[in-house]
Amino acid sequence: MPMVDDKNGHPLHVKRPSENEFLHTNVKHTGIVHSSFSFESLQESANYLLDRISTRPKIGIICGSGLGPITDTLTQKQCFPYEDIPHFPSSTVKGHVGQMVFGYLHGVPVMCMQGRFHYYEGYPLWKCAMPVRVMKLVGVSHLIVTNAAGGLNPNYNVGDIMLMKDHVNLMGFAGNNPLQGPNDDRFGPRFPPMNRAYNKQLLAACDKVVNEMGIQDIVHKGVYTCLGGPNYETVAELKVLKILGVDAVGMSTVHEVITARHCEMKVVAFSLITNMCVDDYEDHMEANHNEVMEVSERMKGLLKEFVSRIVAYIKEELNVDDATK
C-alpha cells in the first residue's frame, strides 16, 4: 500500500531522490567533484507539474522578498508547494511562501515562483537556480525576475523601482557560478555570452508601461549585484560596490538570470529599492529585514499592476501566444 500525503493525495515517494538525480562526474578519471541535477531529474520535476496543470505558460515570474502577493492577482490558480515537487529544495525565509503558482494574469497564463532559494540558506548556486531550468522544461520562454534590493545610487529613494540593465556577477568574480561543472548541451552552450542578458525589447516594453502608469519619477535603469549574504554590507564593501558601478545590491537574481540566459530565455528583471545602503561611517541607520518587508508590503499594489502590464505587453507586442492547453 503506497503512503499518501493526505494534503494533496500525492504519493510520498515522489520526493525520494532517484538514481539519476545527481549528475556525478567520474571522480576517478577527472578528479572533478561536482554535482548538479541532471536533465532527466529536472524533467521529472517539470513532468510532475505538466501532468497537473491545465495551462502551458510561456511567461515565468520569480517573486522576490515580500513580492509574493503579485500572485494574488492570478485567476484559476493552481499552487504546488515546493516540498511536493520532485527534487525541489524548500524555502526557509520568513516572508517566502515557497510554491509554484500557475494561473492567468489578465488572461495570460503564467508560472510564478512564490519564494526562491538563496545562497545564504546553504544551497549551492546551481540549486538556487534549478527552478529556472524547470520553468524552461515546462515551456517558459520569457522570464520576469523581481527582487528587493538596497539602493546605492544616491538618486534612488526607498520605494523606487530599478529596472536591471545589467549586473555584476561578483560571486562569479570569486569563482562561484551556477553553470559550474559539466555542461549539458541540451540546456545551452559551455560558454554562454552574457552581454545581452537583459532583453532590449522587454526593457522597451517596461518603458511603455512606466509611461502608461505615470511612474517615471520612481523608475530607474541600473546595475545590480548579488552578494552571498545573509548579512548586509559593511560601509567599506558598499564603497567598493559604488566604485564598481553598482546601483543596487541584493542577495539573489544574478545566478537565476545566468541560468535563464544559458537556456536562451528572454529576461527582464527589476529591483524594488527597500532601503538605502548606509555607506557613511557617521550614519547610524542599519539595514534590516523588517524594513525590506514593510516597503514590499507598501508597494505591492503598484508592483502587481506593473508586472501585470509587462505580462500583457509580452503577450501582445512580442506575440507570445496564449498557449492554453
> What cell numbers appear for 321 in the block?
501566444
CB of 234 to ligand HPA, least distance (A): 11
Note whether 170 binds ligand HPA by CB under 6 A. Answer: no
Is residue 150 a contact partner of residue 232, using CB atoms and an 8 Å limit?
A: yes
Measured from the CB atom, the residue of 11 and 154 that comes closer to ligand HPA is 154
Count of residues near ligand HPA by CB under 6 A: 13
> How many Cβ atoms sit within 10 Å of the Cβ of residue 83?
14
Asked if 120 is an active-site residue, the reply is yes
Contacts with 51 (C-beta within 8 Å, 6 or more apart), sequence order = none
Measured from the CB atom, the residue of 54 and 157 that comes closer to ligand HPA is 157
Which residue stretch of 43-51, 93-101, 134-142, 273-281 sits at the interface with ligand HPA (rule: CB under 6 A)? 273-281
Catalytic residue of the set 147, 153, 169, 275? 275
Q: Output the residue with the shortest Cβ distance to ligand HPA.
A: 150
> What cell numbers appear for 299 in the block?
508597494
Q: Contacts with ligand HPA in 91-150 (CB under 6 A)?
A: 148-150
> What cell numbers appear for 255 in the block?
545566478
Note whether 171 binds ligand HPA by CB under 6 A. Answer: no
Q: Report the residue from 199, 275, 296, 308 that binds ligand HPA according to the rule CB under 6 A.
A: 275
Note whether 64 binds ligand HPA by CB under 6 A. Answer: no
Distance CA 160, CA 162 (A): 7
Is residue 48 a contact partner of residue 15, using CB atoms and an 8 Å limit?
A: no
Note whether 67 binds ligand HPA by CB under 6 A. Answer: no
Catalytic residue of the set 21, 121, 233, 256? 121
CB of 202 to ligand HPA, least distance (A): 23
Catalytic residue of the set 87, 118, 167, 220? 118
Contacts with 300 (C-beta within 8 Å, 6 or more apart), sequence order = 66, 67, 69, 70
Note whether 46 binds ligand HPA by CB under 6 A. Answer: no
Asked if 82 is an active-site residue, the reply is no
DSSP H helical ranges for the chain: 27-30, 39-50, 125-128, 130-138, 170-173, 200-213, 235-243, 254-262, 289-317
Binding mask 234-263 vs ligand HPA (x if CB under 6 A, - otherwise)? Answer: ---------------xxx------------
CB of 206 to ligand HPA, least distance (A): 21
Number of Cα atoms under 13 Å in the Cβ half of residue 96: 21
Asked if 289 is an active-site residue, the reply is yes
Reduce the DSSP state of residue 59 to 3 states and report it: strand
Distance CA 156, CA 17 (A): 45
Which of 318, 272, 262 is closest to 296 using CA atoms?
272
Catalytic residue of the set 120, 194, 293, 294? 120
CB of 188 to ligand HPA, least distance (A): 28
Catalog residues that contact ligand HPA under the rule CB under 6 A. Answer: 148-150, 232-233, 249-251, 274-275, 277, 287, 292
Catalytic residue annotation: 65, 96, 118, 120-121, 148, 251-252, 275, 289
